[in-house]
Amino acid sequence: MEKIIECIPNFSEGQNLSIINAIADKIRSVKDSLLLNVDSGYDANRTVYTFAGPPEAVLEAAFLAIKAAVELIDMRFQKGEHPRIGACDVCPLVPLKGVTMDEVIQYSKELSAKVANELNVPVYLYENSQPKHYRSNLSIIRKGEYEGLKEKMLLPEWKPDFGGTAFNEKSGATVIGARDFLIAYNVNLNTKSEKIANEIAGEIREIGVIKRNKFTHEIERDSNGTPLRIPGSLKYVKAIGWYMEHFNKAQVSFNLINFRKTPIHIVYEETKKKAREKGFDVTGSELIALIPLDALLMAGRFYATQQNFSENDFSERKLVEIAVDKLGLAELEPFIIEVRIIEYALKHSKIND
């Protein structure tokens, strides 16, 4: 069976079209590297590329894309709503077909070594590639962002996995690792309040929020001095809130790290519930990059059942259309099913020729 992996690098540029296109051209330049989607966010100042192919082609395309970002993006002048530590902020590798997670972990280490050695960009491993549990979470690695990276890299516990501790002022650092499929998903609110969006994010995300005394507002700690936390309502979910000026509304931005255990429709409905408790409402949602077919089929079945229909009453296509409608996925821009669902995108590519 042919080996196919997916790469979804996130670059810290979502406004300069010439840079966005230059990185895309590098990905396209590699034979058998199939660029499936380019998703830019102006206010986030971030672009997510999705491409797939045989491991050798994907690794070459990923390196060339990162190299282009190092040459074209200057982190000293980069600002945006999305947290980031470098020109190429994160570069995940995902097994799709005929390849094991262990193999993809090895690919991630090969790419990391090449980026550090040839581009002089320090690299942190994350997710399945990172053997140290406290360093496996992207949000923890990214804490302090680019502005705090120089000092963070000097701490023994935060020495990069590849490259030295010398700070690359122009490019920052990057995070590379093998992981399962992740859904990046934003839910839109009928408010401009970043504070409300952050409150909702804290109430839902698995890690929750730091516990504070309700009278003094001081952080409560356990006997070892570790801050106590109030867990969020949903497992396998990460979230932050922000205001997106381009859309004139606040969003709760989610990463769904296990969409089978915490499906996208459950996240959407929980956000609606939390928003309404605060006197606001959800107006729709936005998918970043691609989504697995099963995620939308699960949502379609859920909403069909709510309307007293059986999933057997609908074709696969109709279930997907129900999901897109009920999740409001076309609120901010058209949602093209053949482009945004990974299985459909691959079906129309050369991979399955």
CB 264 within 8 A of CB 212: no
> E strands along 19-167, which residues?
34-41, 46-53, 88-97, 123-125
CB 87 within 8 A of CB 50: no
Orientation of helix 264-277 relative to helix 293-306, angle to 10°: 60
- Whether 133 is catalytic is no
Closest CA to 162 of 110, 123, 220, 204: 123
DSSP string, 32-46: T-EEEEEEEETTTTE
Helix (H) or strand (E) holding 316: helix 316-326
The active-site residue, picked from 82, 133, 246, 348, is 82
Specify burial of residue 178 (Cβ count, 10 A radius: 0-12, 13-18, 19+): buried
CB 179 within 8 A of CB 92: yes
Catalytic positions, please? 82
